[in-house]
Structure 1
């Protein structure tokens, strides 16, 4: 997603931190919805993405997805897929691209992702 006039500016990641980028336009739109609904929680999630996207101790609110959702592909790279629970239903899913120190947001939204409703 190319930034446009009026868009929020995100600083580049300093050394030792991760870039946080949108994998698609739907994730960008969902991120904006989360920012409007739960700004404090979304900010804390963004900090976790920047500084500790693969926590040593997983929690019910920040953990790797399981089963067929444990991995995802972005631009030909297979990466671990993680989740941060921002609100009771709001989630952020991201791929951990260790080669680029980048978290690719694949889902962000105020509703529980349907992919887990199997």
Structure 2
């Protein structure tokens, strides 16, 4: 998504941090909705993705997805897919692309993702 006039400017990642980017327009829109409802928690999630996107000590609020959701692909690169629980039902899903040191946000929203409702 190309930035436009009026968009927030995201700082570039320092050398030891990861970039955080949207995989598609829907995730960008969901991010904005989530940020409006839970500003502080969304910021903390962004910091976690930026500094420790694949934590060795997973928690119930920040963990790798399981089963068919454990991996995803972006730009031809297969990556681990992770989840951060931002609120009781608000989630962020992202692909941790170790080659590009980039977290690709594939879902962000104030409601629980439907893909887990099986």
TM-score, scaled to structure 2: 0.99
CA distance in 2, matches of 1:86, 1:99: 26
Give, in angstroms, the shift of residue 114 of structure 1.
0.1
**Structure 2 counterpart of 1:88:** 88
Structure 1 residues 53-92: Cα deviation after superposition (integer angstroms, max 9, x where no partner): 0111000000000000000010111000000000000000
What do the CA deviations read for 1:11-50 (whole angstroms, capped 9, x no partner)?
0000100000000000000000011000000000000000
Partner of 1:34: 34
* Equivalent residues in 2 for 1:25-104, closer than 5 Å: 25-104=25-104
Structure 2: tracts of 5 or more residues without a match:
none
| Structure 1: tracts of 5 or more residues without a match | none
User: Which consecutive segments of 4 or more residues in structure 1 shift more than 4 A?
Assistant: none
The aligned residue for residue 21 of structure 2 is 21
State the number of aligned residues.
Answer: 118
Cα separation, 2, equivalents of 1:75 and 1:102: 12
Using the alignment, how far apart are the partners of 2:3 and 2:33 within structure 1? 17
Supply the RMSD in Å over aligned alpha carbons: 0.4
Q: TM-score, normalised by structure 1?
A: 0.99
